[in-house]
Amino acid sequence: MANNQWYKELAVYQIWPRSFKDGNGDGIGDLWGVLEKLDYIKSLGVDAIWFSPLYCSPNADYGYDISDYRKISPEYGDNELFKKVLDEAHKRGLKIIMDLVVNHTSDEHEWFIESKKSKDNPYHDYYFWRDGKGKDGKKPPNNWLSVFEGGAWEYNEDLKQYYLHVFAKKQVDLNMDNPKVRQEVKDIMKFWLDMGVDGFREDVITFISKAEGLPNGFPLPIGTGLEHYKKGPHIHEYLSEFRHDVLDKYDCFVVGESPMTNAKTALEFTDEHGDKELDMMFLFDHMEADCFMTDTIHLPFNLKKMKKAFANWHKTLDGKGWPALYLENHDHPRIVDRYGNLNYRVESAKMLATMCYMQSGTVFIYQGQEIGMTNFHLDSLDQFKDVVTFNNYKLFKKLGFSDAAYLKIANTTSRENGRTPVQWTSGEYAGFSTAEPWFHLNENYKQINVEQAENDENSILNYYRKLLKFRKENPIVIYGDYKEHYKDSDKMFVYERNYEGKRMLVVSSFSDRALRFDAPEGFNLEKGKKVLGNYSTEKIIDNGFIMNPYETRVYLFE
């Protein structure tokens, strides 16, 4: 049986600050905007906010390239304003989770500026500086490729050495093998925890230990060398150190982002019976039901693949670990465009929320998801902003794709789809700002916005509120067991939950046609209560019903 720990019951709202709400009228989202919207966030029924990075950053990767870990970016406010947001959030019973990005710093961080001054600078060994190969030392130290742009090594003329960057050039990998670097990380954690924050989302945290000697990797078109750092030799040691030296001393929670990790490997980090380095991990496999490895290689949505991922989490983590339930974040296109259907935007958005959040796990909701925001349709590549979009452009060009073909790919698969300003009203600039927003505003803001959703009892927004309330009032949703039915169906997702003598049945259709649903053996629908659903119909025929397109129903049996 699962232990009741507070993080398990949380619903977390993720803010990507640049596009959440502009409060000072410069077209960029900020903490003044967050302050204005705290009551709105609270009204959703969530318990915490996770802030994507708010720190000083040159924005090569919009905050994921940090130049000062202890300072809020002036674009977003300052430390005093942050403290105010923190206090106001706490007053409302909302916890605050900070993003901790310590695989790399910005090349504008003072550590890096020092480190490139000379080989004997005390900060030199904070990063991976290596001599080049070949006669003139002008060949990179190994064959690693960046997962974001080209080679993973950048040459510095003054030092005549290369530095390692697994992500963008301006995101320099920290040398975590240096105990001084680990001490810096622990001090940064303490700094924010002492201020009162309630935990961290740790960015690509499983990448922080690199294989000794930085050996050549298996040659791939992108990310060569990954096998030497995706779960490096000292990863457990370092995470345990952070846990024991800092995190254990606070009542906080930590979720790790772990690309290429599955439920089984997640247990190595999160086993409640072992040395628990992290409380939970963001897995990626359920987000790969319409793509291959990365969103960019888009495939038709495969429901069975998604169901398998969830089933595997529950089976593997049961009693030992804890899932993080999410469908969107700042790294993916919008979910209604992916797993839902824009012709049934409202229905499918509610269905997706239900099928996902009626499982056990901690809930994560990304800004705009609660009103069913959608992908954009940009007409030219120069409207895009993200380093990943531009890097992929280079790759696709090499493969012979035309600009027009790539534009189509970017419109469907780019993570920038999730980064358009939140649509608050149908008014000027969608109520996001009083000035022209920093990034493209989705044209559909006149129809899709928070104001409209507030005024419509049947909106996606109000459905999210109902769903989160139901979750909070019914521990079966959080702690019940999980059993799937109709596993082989490629149109329906059906599972039951059991807890303390209660049963719950969650039925969801992924079809745009009517479908007959028959209750699984042992369930008498007439005896159940329909507690959630996206159509008003209640009709039961022969212990089943005809499901409308993208219909979802939740039955509770007490």
- Applying the rule CB under 5 A, the residues between 211 and 240 that interact with Ca ion are none
Cα→Cα distances 163→150, 260, 297, Å = 14, 24, 30
Report the SS3 class of residue 446. Answer: helix
Report the residue number, 328 or 347, with the smaller CB distance to ligand GLC.
328
Q: Which of 76, 82, 127, 167 binds ligand GLC (CB under 6 A)?
A: 167
Least distance to ligand GLC from the beta carbon of 53, Å?
A: 9
Structure tokens at 109: 């961080």
DSSP character string of 160-212: TEEEE-SS-TTEEEB-TTSHHHHHHHHHHHHHHHHHT--EEEETTGGGS-PPT
Contact between 22 and Ca ion per CB under 5 A: yes
Least distance to ligand GLC from the beta carbon of 147, Å?
A: 8
CA distance 336 to 219: 36
Per rule CB under 5 A, count of chain residues that contact Ca ion: 5
Contact between 203 and ligand GLC per CB under 6 A: yes
Q: Return the closest-CA partner of residue 523 out of 483, 479, 470, 466.
A: 483
Identify the active-site residue in 47, 61, 202, 203: 203
Cα-Cα-Cα-Cα torsion 340, 345, 350, 355, nearest 10 degrees, comes to -10
Q: Biggest alpha carbon distance in the chain? A: 80
26 binds, among Ca ion, ligand GLC, none (CB under 5 to 8 A by kind): Ca ion
Identify the active-site residue in 99, 173, 241, 257: 257
Least distance to ligand GLC from the beta carbon of 18, Å?
A: 12
Q: Does residue 203 carry a catalytic annotation? A: yes
Contact between 26 and Ca ion per CB under 5 A: yes
Which residues are registered as beta bridge partners of 15? 51
**In this chain, which residue has its C-beta nearest to ligand GLC?**
64
Least distance to ligand GLC from the beta carbon of 86, Å?
A: 22
Q: Which of 7, 64, 200, 495 binds ligand GLC (CB under 6 A)?
A: 64
Which residues are registered as beta bridge partners of 278? none
Structure tokens at 135: 């006669």
Q: Which of 61, 154, 328, 347 binds ligand GLC (CB under 6 A)?
A: 61
Q: Does residue 257 carry a catalytic annotation? A: yes
CA distance 287 to 309: 9
CA distance 219 to 137: 21
Q: Which of 30, 47, 268, 337 binds Ca ion (CB under 5 A)?
A: 30
24 binds, among Ca ion, ligand GLC, none (CB under 5 to 8 A by kind): Ca ion
Report the residue number, 24 or 462, with the smaller CB distance to Ca ion.
24
551 binds, among ligand GLC, Ca ion, none (CB under 5 to 8 A by kind): none
Least distance to ligand GLC from the beta carbon of 22, Å?
A: 21
Q: Return the closest-CA partner of residue 322 out of 313, 333, 311.
A: 313
Contact between 47 and ligand GLC per CB under 6 A: no
Cα→Cα distances 352→310, 334, 443, Å = 13, 12, 23
- Applying the rule CB under 6 A, the residues between 90 and 119 that interact with ligand GLC are 101
CA distance 233 to 206: 11
203 binds, among Ca ion, ligand GLC, none (CB under 5 to 8 A by kind): ligand GLC
CA distance 361 to 357: 8
Q: Which of 204, 247, 356, 505 binds ligand GLC (CB under 6 A)?
A: 204
Report the residue number, 206 or 534, with the smaller CB distance to ligand GLC.
206
Which range of residues in 21-29, 107-115, 277-285, 301-309 is near Ca ion by CB under 5 A?
21-29
The amino acid present at 341, given as its one-letter code, is N
CA distance 189 to 212: 26
Contact between 254 and ligand GLC per CB under 6 A: no
Q: Which of 328, 331, 416, 496 binds ligand GLC (CB under 6 A)?
A: 331
Contact between 278 and ligand GLC per CB under 6 A: no
Cα→Cα distances 52→109, 186, 202, 414, Å = 18, 19, 10, 18
* Helix (DSSP H) and strand (DSSP E) numbers for the chain: 14, 24
Residues recognised as catalytic: 203, 257
Residues in touch with Ca ion (CB under 5 A): 22, 24, 26, 28, 30
